[in-house]
Structure 1
């Protein structure tokens, strides 16, 4: 297989892995840092009313289409009431019903929301309808027609017509027509917005009153609930899409901090019999774990994205994979140190296994325990060499002694109150026995210096692998973005064809790289004189 094929394969794997990571970071909003937090809001609607005798039905409009926001969780609190949720084309609502109620009644709806990344303005999925025009008596009818005619002369389309109408209604020096109409709709925000919709309907302009709450960023650190004001907004259809207008400032566009509560066009709260009612809204902002929030957001948007991922595993299995996914990281570090630096170790993956044991014993204590076990095992191995045992019985005897030594260290540590000594049993016993055997063979065949150098190299690789594998940000990154391992896989393929010099070889043979000194020819001897 040619190198070009290998390079193209590695490049394709890296591109696919980086693309998947970018999608999870930007679109799915998975956090990169383990302690990352996001801002969430808890919005609560509190219904308080005096019930009438007999049955009572309470209808509250709920958030349905919330561009720019995602509702993570909803809770309903209504004691002894039945709850019925209905969702239609125009919106969503909940109906609470009770056969008999006595005394003041309190009903609650609570929603936890978070910002959703918006790549482009979201279009409201509402069919345009023209509201019933306002039925006005004189002189209100004449004033309304005069005002609308004046607005038409200063507008060019539906949106500019609506904004000009709002400007005239909001200006401080009102005209006589506006002052007269103000007596009709009064100062109530809802009544005023509905009257504007009726005026627009008289000119065949589809418009609707929607409700929303503005959530300020500063409320994220609030310790108590803050009273929130539910405001009315206008949406006007220009034949292609809906345009949001602020009836108080005639500004166009949807504010970034506006949470649309209801776009159904219906009153927020209706109760049979119209008893004395109070509808109050409170908002509390706080910080939540970014990973848990992203997981919950995916469950709301598309549950399959979570079901077929590591996040769907039980917590115990997730903790296991947090460790297993770090093993390739340690193996890649060993690959770099052996193939590029030239560090000698015992075995291929034995340093990685020792690094896993260091995660429980800590680095310094783990190195001390490793040296004790291997040192004692070497002494026993040299003694067994004199008995001329075969390979398998000798390894079995060493394994038995290693286990006994580990047990003795644990008992002694327990008596001395050293808890770290109890973790010695986490060392892979078979690997330890094989290390003792290979170290003793290297001692006999290549000398004590070579055996000690390879033993030190094993500890160095294990220590570096432990430091990297126990770094919490990297552990979180690999668990959330396992595509990182595909990048390491591609790099391992590229390093698999490397056959150049290693770093330690460059240091060993650096004398050969020097330019040789120029060879100076010896001086010529003068020719002997001829005898006469």
Structure 2
């Protein structure tokens, strides 16, 4: 769509595959989206790695399949950990046991889809690494669940998935990916944007709405 830039051509001819370059650019874009969501909007996520991982995984699975797998992973993790936490055992072994239960559940999920379809007939075509990447969300969820309450963990989960969906939408647009691939100056620009976001001290949009709502309530008293 866009003419290949000389820098991109040079990189592609010096040991960097186009797929790797596209993934690195996508990582920069989604990381910046996470920063914007956190410091301008006020969204809470499971750090920065989880939304990046999910957004890139969704770009390979497709949003419908990605969200279906995410739902299975979270429900299984919640149920299995709720049972396992009643057993006195080491934390790592509890997490490892959770992953074995999750693996069994996902296998059964594949069998269920094969038998009944459920609108997910192409599930078997999902790249394995994308599938595993979504499954690792279990670890982020459980860590948050252990440290904080279930409502807090679910709020962070919601924020993580929403930001990942936004990231998926952006990086899966062909016009955006092609433009970024052939205009690599975008990467240092994103670096500068993140530095500026790191220096931002103003109110986040979420806080602004909360204060505005509070002031209205006080004014009505």
Structure-2-length-normalised TM-score: 0.84
Aligned-residue CA RMSD in angstroms? 2.7
1:437 pairs, out of 107, 131, 142, with: 142
Deviation at 1:513, TM superposition (A): 4.5
1:10-159 aligned within 5 A: 34=1
Residue of structure 1 equivalent to 2:90: 390
- Is 2:113 aligned against 1:413? yes
Is the CA contact 2:53–2:134 (under 8 Å) kept in the aligned structure 1? no
Alpha-carbon distance in structure 1 between the residues aligned to 2:42 and 2:56: 22
Determine the structure 2 residue equivalent to 1:480: 182
Look at both structures and tell me which one has the larger radius of gyration over its CA atoms.
1
| Deviations 1:365-414, CA, capped at 9 Å, x for gaps | 21121011111111000000110222111111122222333333334434
Match of 1:364 in 2: 64
Question: Where do residues 40-439 of structure 1 align in structure 2 (5 Å cutoff)?
Answer: 290-291=3-4, 309-313=10-14, 317-416=17-116, 418-423=121-126, 425=128, 426-427=130-131, 428=133, 431-439=136-144
Paired residues, number? 214
Residue 406 of structure 1 contacts residue 424 of structure 1 at CA under 8 Å; is this kept in 2? no
Flag the structure with more relative contact order, 1 or 2, with Cα contacts below 8 A and sequence separation at least 6. 2
What CA distance in whole angstroms lies between the structure 2 residues aligned with 1:306 and 1:480?
6
SS at structure 2 position matched to 1:371: helix
- For structure 2, list consecutive stretches of 5 or more residues without a partner in the other structure: none
Matches of 2:32 and 2:96, distance apart in 1: 32
Deviation string, structure 1 residues 313-354 (Cα, Å, up to 9, x no partner) = 57x921232222111101101110111111111232201101
Aligned to 1:451: 153
TM-score, scaled relative to structure 1: 0.37
1:132 corresponds in structure 2 to none
Task: Please give the per-residue CA displacement for 1:60-87, whole angstroms capped at 9, x wherever unaligned.
Answer: xxxxxxxxxxxxxxxxxxxxxxxxxxxx
* C-alpha distance after superposition, 1:437-480 (max 9, x if no partner): 124325xx43x332222211111011000000111111111111
Corresponding position of 1:465: 167
Q: Is the 8 A contact 1:357 1:366 kept in 2?
A: yes
Q: Quick one: distance in 2 between partners of 1:348 and 1:363?
A: 20
Q: Which residue of 2 aligns with 1:286?
A: none
CA contact 2:54–2:134 (8 Å) conserved in 1: no
Partner SS for 1:501: coil
**CA 1:508–1:319 in structure 2 vs 1: closer, same or farther (change >3 Å)?**
same
Question: Which structure's residues are more often strand, by fraction?
Answer: 1
Compared CA separation, residues 310 and 407, structure 1 to 2 (3 A):
farther
Which stretch of structure 1 is more off in the superposition, 463-472 or 475-484? 475-484
- 1:402–1:424 CA distance, 2 compared to 1 (3 A): farther
CA distance, structure 2, for counterparts of residue 515 and residue 441 of structure 1 = 35
Does the Cα contact within 8 Å between 1:369 and 1:424 map onto a contact in 2? no
Give a deviation string over 1:87-137, Cα, whole Å, max 9, x none. xxxxxxxxxxxxxxxxxxxxxxxxxxxxxxxxxxxxxxxxxxxxxxxxxxx
| 3-state DSSP of counterpart to 2:21 | helix
CA, structure 1 residues 347+407, in 2 after alignment: closer, same or farther (shift >3 Å)? farther
- Of 191, 202, 208, the match for 1:500: 202
